Structure 1
Amino acid sequence: MQPYDTRNQGGYDYEGRTVPGDGTSERAFGSLVGEFFDQGKRLIRAEVALAKTELRQEVTKVKAGSALVGAGGVLLFIGGIAFMLFACAALATVLPWWAATLIVTVAFLAIGGGITYAGIKRMKEIHAPNKTIQTLKEDGQWASKTFQSVKSQMHGHA
């Protein structure tokens, strides 16, 4: 800690008049503002990296859920048509045609619905990048407080 220097080094006297000096308070303010913006840049870069990581994880979930929904749809359509014709013909040998087609249709709807439900359930596991949102809120509060502090120091020296 340096001893208090009683010499006025520029700025303002006790009555608010400008006093010539070496400009150290202006340089200190400039370095504070520069440091504030540098920290802000680093913070933004870190937040972007965090958001990318979280979004990559969520995209992976979307891909998996979409694949299940797509697979369920394809099975419902292609396999359903081919096998439905076969099953209806086979059941029609022991049941009336309308009963055979009803049984086969209900079975395929149940299987396809189950697969589609599994895909939708997996897709519901997708979440917003909550960590990033929370840290962005905290960063905004930090930036606001820091800027207010710099501003008050500027008014205190101005």
Structure 2
Amino acid sequence: MSSLSSQSPQPRGQDGQDSSVGELLSTVTSDVQQLFRQEVELAKAEVRQEATKAGRAAGMYGGAGFAGYMVALLLTLAAMFGLANVMDLGWAALIVTAIWAVIGLILYRRGRERMRTVSPKPEQTIQTLKEDAQWARHPTR
């Protein structure tokens, strides 16, 4: 029996000839680089999605603040003068101010709840990259 028959078969290239270790390493390296590039693109997409959510929540904060200011200003004046017919103007202003403070607190809490749902990191991509790195260190496992 010859020593060639006891060896395992060699990998073959696309042209049917034996591939060198360098060619195989080059192919694996290229594939890993492409995989990492795709993972980075996925991470960027996830970050953009989370930034959009954060922008909407911040817009709600701003909108709530501006709307609250305008409404408070105009309704406070109307309510104060309406209540001034029944009580002193100072007490009327204090009552109306307390009502708008409660409304402002409710809007703030809703905005804060929405902001808490925003994830600062692309969790799924980070986990996948960790798995890819683990595989790259130990490809036979």
Within 2, Cα distance between the matches of 1:130 and 1:70? 28
Q: Displacement of 1:140 after TM fit?
A: 1.6
Q: Offset at 1:29?
A: 2.6
Q: Is the 8 A contact 1:68 1:118 kept in 2?
A: no
One-letter amino acid matched to 2:58:
S
Unaligned 5+ residue runs, structure 1? 7-23, 150-158
**Does the 8 Å contact 1:84/1:104 carry over to 2?**
yes
Is the 1:76–1:109 Cα contact (8 Å) retained in structure 2? no
Shift of 1:54: 1.6
Count of aligned positions: 126
Q: Distance in 2 between matches of 1:95 and 1:34?
A: 87
How do 1:55-66 residues align onto structure 2 when only pairs under 5 Å count? 55-66=47-58
Instruction: Write the distance in 2 (CA, Å) between the matches of 1:145 and 1:28.
Output: 21
Q: Deviations over 1:115-152 (max 9, x none)?
A: 22212211111112110110111112122225xx8xxx
Residue 43 of structure 1: aligned partner: 35
| Cα pair 1:75 1:112 within 8 Å, conserved | no
Task: Give the alignment's Cα RMSD to 1 decimal.
Answer: 2.3
Q: Give the aligned partner of residue 108 of structure 1.
A: 100
Indicate the structure (1 or 2) with the bigger Cα radius of gyration: 1
Unaligned runs of 5+ in 2: 6-17
- Matching of residue 71 in structure 1 with residue 63 in structure 2: yes
1:54 aligns to what? 46
User: Percent same amino acid at aligned positions?
Assistant: 35
Cα deviation, residue 4, structure 1: 4.9
| Counterpart contact for 1:68–1:116, Cα < 8 Å | no
Partner secondary structure for residue 87 of structure 2: coil
The CA deviation string for residues 85-133 of structure 1, in whole angstroms up to 9 with x for no partner, is 2211211221222321121111111112212221221111111211011
